[in-house]
Chains A and B, each alone.
Chain A
Amino acid sequence: MKILIRLIPLVLFILLGVLLYRGLFLNPQAMPSALVGKTFPEFSLTRLSNQQQTLSNADFKPGIKLVNVWATWCPSCKVEHPFLVKLSKDKRFSLYGINYKDNRSDAKKWLKFYKDPYQFSIFDDAGRLGLNLGVFGAPETFVVDHKGVIRKRFAGVLEPRVWQREFLPLINTIETEMMQGK
């Protein structure tokens, strides 16, 4: 009994130590999105390439969707762009862009110059859709499943390693769910 009481502070100290030590290696940017598991927010915004055309959730194709938040003012977006062009050839999902708080003519020029990997880009001038998505910067990428539910949010540059480790397994999972008719 005596020895047990004496050991309590030590045990607590070790537990706290382990907890804080683990905390040192957590990535503060990788916070879970509040939106995972919720449906993609409703929007009604113009198409980047045509300001006469209004887009809404209904314009997404059925199936798995990858929604990428980008802007010309964002240097990391330039870094991830070639990889997005590669991804756009994958038939298992369709890739969409949200042009976030940008200038329309600059953004159009960018897509002309670097190739346009997106089915379409939503022109989110005021950042309203971004706000509803909990976006706090660019680039960010969302995986939306066949039911329109957000399954993943990733903040940062999408690159092959991240893709292999975090995105592919999820896409496989969603594909299985689709086949099972869930």
Chain B
Amino acid sequence: MSKLLQLFSTMTISCLLAFAVQAGPIDTYTFPDEVTKKRFNELTYELRCPKCQNQNLADSNSPIAQDLRKEVYDMLIDGRSDGEIMTFMVERYGEFVLYRPRVSSITYALWFGPIVFVLIGGFVVFMFVRRKDDEPEHLSEEQKQQLKSILKD
């Protein structure tokens, strides 16, 4: 009985996995070589679908994502560089299409904000800690001995 159950659960899981693999949109593009294929995958992974807002081009099935994937493919076949393709997209859809926005005056806060926050936080913590490890000076020699023996236990 338990064997049967195990078999059944294994089958269910493998079915689910099979579906999971097929969940992405299917395009039938043929690539001249593995490098181009890899670049296509990387570009569609890095570019955001303008309509669906929080999916990349590779994941989305919306018509505009299909069009843009086609566009990326055509440009790759055309021999354009990754940078050119990115610029093409940004010129039309704005910085929004980039999941990793470029460093520019409007994205400084985004890029360097976290570092500034960590630095300020570190500074504040440092100021507090430094004050704390001063040894209490108002204790007499006897009291200090007592304190040490208590801490030893």
15 A–B contacts, CB within 8 A, in A order = A6-B124, A8-B120, A9-B120, A32-B94, A34-B95, A35-B92, A127-B67, A131-B67, A131-B92, A132-B92, A133-B92, A134-B92, A134-B93, A136-B50, A137-B64
Distance from B133 Cβ to chain A, minimum over Cβ atoms (Å): 16
Provided the pairs A28-B53, A134-B92 are in contact, do residues A9 and B124 lie with their beta carbons within 8 angstroms? yes
Q: Which residues of B contact A (CB under 8 A)?
A: 50-51, 53, 63-64, 67-68, 71, 90-96, 117, 120-121, 123-124, 127
Any chain B CB within 8 A of the CB of A179?
Answer: no
CA distance A134 to B90 in the complex (A): 9
Q: Which residues of A contact B96 (CB under 8 A)?
A: 31
Report yes or no: B67 in contact with A134, Cβ–Cβ below 8 A: no
Per a CB cutoff under 8 Å, which of A5, A12, A101, A131 touches B71?
A131
Interface of B is mostly: helix
Using A5-B127, A134-B50, A136-B50 as known contacts, say yes or no to A34 and B91 having CB atoms under 8 A apart.
yes
Chain A residues near B92: list those with CB within 8 A.
Answer: 34-35, 131-134
Question: Is A33 close to B, CB under 8 A?
Answer: yes
Chain A residues with Cβ below 8 Å from B90 are 34
B153 nearest CB across to chain A (Å): 35
A165 to B139 CA separation, bound complex (whole angstroms): 73
* Minimum Cβ distance to chain B for residue A143 (Å): 17
Residues of A within 8 A of B (CB): 5-6, 8-9, 12, 28, 31-35, 101, 127, 131-137
Which B residues touch A31, using CB under 8 A?
94, 96
Q: How many angstroms between the C-alpha atoms of A32 and B96 in the bound complex?
A: 9
Residues of B within 8 A of A6 (CB): 124
The listed residue with most B CB atoms (<10 A of its CB), out of A6, A8, A132, A134, is: A134
Establish whether residues A9 and B121, one from each chain, have CB atoms under 8 Å apart when the complex forms. yes
Q: Which residue of A lies closest to B126 (CB)?
A: A5
Instruction: Give the residue of A12, A133, A136 whose beta carbon is less than 8 angstroms from that of B117.
Output: A12
Q: Which residues of A contact B67 (CB under 8 A)?
A: 127, 131
Identify the 7 closest CB pairs spanning chains A and B, nearest first: A34-B94, A134-B92, A136-B50, A136-B51, A136-B64, A134-B93, A5-B127
Measured between C-beta atoms, what is the minimum distance from B53 to chain A in Å? 5
Chain B residues near A127: list those with CB within 8 A: 67
Are A137 and B51 in contact, with the CB atoms below 8 A? Answer: yes
Closest to B127 in A: A5
Closest chain B residue to A32, Cβ basis? B94
Question: How far, in whole Å, are A128 and B127 apart by their CA atoms in the complex?
Answer: 60
